[in-house]
Structure 1
């Protein structure tokens, strides 16, 4: 039982620390011969008028040791505030079953089934105390296997209209948020097209890819807005989640590709890619395919599946590898420009290019740091009512990154980085000599 207690403690801690709120659409799940002591189904932020509906059918419990006790299998809600008390109970008493804790909101046990343990059950429970709760299933019978079909439905209601809202309290603003940013990107695209047409003689192939990136980002946000809207109103995405994942996949692959191509100086400094730069693309693109598959599994199935933790680890590992890989071409370009500056007579132009790529390196690092670390921290520390702030921060950071990147490499005939006069040339030569001396 001590081993079971440690497992339960680890499971609860992991889910509270490393899971974000679910979109809480209506889900129908199948559990087959599962011996896990704890299964997390959803994490949801309730208002004063929240409800949790759980329906199970085809229930079967088998054990190789003894007849399972139906009172030690059940569903309950657990808030973060009650987490510490539950963990203390588990540590103090190895035989303690979490469904007996006074700190959990017990919904029902298998003793409520008639006749237990093979039957169907369907009931809706009001949640009058507003908070963020996680819906768990606990199995305190060692070596027992549980089979059942589960349908969960968590939602809040409007006290005036009694209309259901299937998005958590902190995420109900997401449809409006994503739609607003999609309009911003449409305006962004119009401005980019105008700039390219106005300076068509300075347009490179990379500028067309950058325009395609803005298109994919806008379509991705429109689909995200529609997806969240239908989940909010009906509990199901009505197919918008499929379009969302398609455009997200294209957008992410295109974003990493554009960063790599700009970092190599493709179509700015040279019209070709070296072998090592091609290998970076050949690594990043397949990894992004894997990362998007992991993202779909995480988003569409939920933490109840056995391999959910593994898919989270795969997504995190692949994302870190891709973020590191796209930095190398920028570093290579900076190193190449530094070497060229020592031998090429056009010192000012090379210094300007070197400055440009250094700034781009800093911008990329800042973007990756903010969206991967700061946004995650916001999701972790923000109150459940303000989970939308993390999404807003991520979209603002992305928009700023796009604006800065597009401005730095815009198609302008007289770009300050490439057109310099004699005075600038002389100043650059002195700067290069100073830099060489420092190195």
Structure 2
């Protein structure tokens, strides 16, 4: 069996890169002196992909007494996914992104200056040429030393449909609305089965079973909001309010998920109807971390990657998510330790060993779930062809559904469930 320390180290190996779904992005730069700025999330274009941009209020500021800025050295470039990491990697040389071979210059500020419409806005539209489909990123590059830029930019990335419509979801994400709707239906089925089970076996129902029921409800609502959000982003480029529902239900589902796992791992409502001081402290740590992680999700989703603090919040979210996932392992380890000690001291070795085996299985399940959803899913999304990246999201949802089902089977209310087999003597001792 993998130790708790090994599991923690394993979970920290990879920080999952959570990519927001593509949409119409609005960027505002105010006296920004960065040389390279990511304007929009990486987007998967088909051979009929389109880039539309609007630039207004573009101004370059230089130190007093400096010569006029060369606006041909400031512009927007399109970079392939292969070169993306190189662009964002800090460099010690003075090279300019506009001069890189793998960067396609879309326009410079000089073109913006000379081609504004009557309303003062520069309108840009370009299509991905045939045979050039793939993952691309948009960067704003400023190669004028000691300068900062102020401008407003609206970016619209989409794939044109044969009938004249627009698909604002990345090429590899276009099947996500169907995936989330299917998983929502599966969650409703699971909710119906669990509710029926609690009704039929009400004499064996514990408090934790109702918490598990609430968790399934929040998971189903989260999937429904993900469907609505992706559906409207695909059609209009805007979630049209579904993102608010997603934030609320994701927040509640996250709190319930970690609370239920911690309570199950401590044996709460099964073989000990109370929490120790350490277990209470763990809950008091995990719940605030989940609150912060969900705040980070909202900030990441609402802000553009062009914002200075966007990458910082993304890293904070990744770190908090990993910490919470690792924290839920400790109460299971504590329960295993207590059962192992009790098996040799209280004369009920057979029963305690049976519970010990089940808690070991639960521990392995949690480790496998964390490893798969935080590492394997990321690797799938990073290695699959860009048209099939939706399979990574689907795999994560299937793994979550399987984890819920397996946990429900092991902890279901039943007369002969080893988790529920308490005797009056045991209760008296507790």
Superposition TM-score, scaled by structure 2 size: 0.88
- For 2:148 and 2:84, the matched residues in 1 are separated by 26
Report what 2:142 is aligned to: 139
Between 191-200 and 61-70, the greater mean CA deviation after superposition = 61-70
Matched, 1:73 2:71: no
Q: Deviations over 1:183-239 (max 9, x none)?
A: 000000000011111111000000000000000000000000000000000110010
Aligned residue-pair number:
400
Please name the residue that 1:54 is paired with. 53
Structure 2 gaps, min length 5: 1-14, 423-430
Q: Deviations over 1:249-294 (max 9, x none)?
A: 1001100000000011100011111111100000000000001111
Q: Partners in 2 of 1:23 and 1:243 — Cα distance?
A: 16
TM superposition shift of 1:28: 1.8
Deviations, residues 373-420 of structure 1 (Å, cap 9, x unaligned): 111111222221111011011001101111111111001122256669
Quote the Cα distance in structure 1 between the aligned partners of 2:136 and 2:191.
Answer: 41
Secondary structure (helix, strand or coil) at the match of 2:164 reads coil
- Measured after TM superposition, the shift of residue 105 of structure 1 is 2.1
CA contact (8 A) 2:188 2:220 kept: yes
Aligned to 1:242: 244
**Please, what TM-score do these two structures have when normalized by structure 1?**
0.86
Of the two structures, which has the highest relative contact order with CA contacts closer than 8 Å and spacing of 6 or more? 2
CA RMSD of aligned residues (A): 2.3
Q: In 1, distance between residues paired with 2:199 and 2:16? A: 47
Offset of residue 151 of structure 1: 0.4
Residues 281-329 of structure 1: CA deviation (Å, up to 9, x unaligned): 0000000000111111122213111011211221122122212211111
Cross-structure match for 2:218: 216
Alignment pair present for 1:201 and 2:203:
yes
Whole-Å separation in 2 of the counterparts to 1:318 and 1:293: 11
Deviations 1:415-437 (A, max 9, x none): 256669xxxxxxxxxxxxxxxxx
CA distance in 1, matches of 2:107, 2:382: 30
Instruction: Give the match for residue 169 of structure 1.
Output: 171
Question: Structure 1 residue 153 and structure 2 residue 156: aligned?
Answer: yes
Aligned to 2:9: none
| 2:272 equivalent in structure 1 | 270
Q: How does 1:334-413 map to 2 (within 5 A)?
A: 334-413=336-415
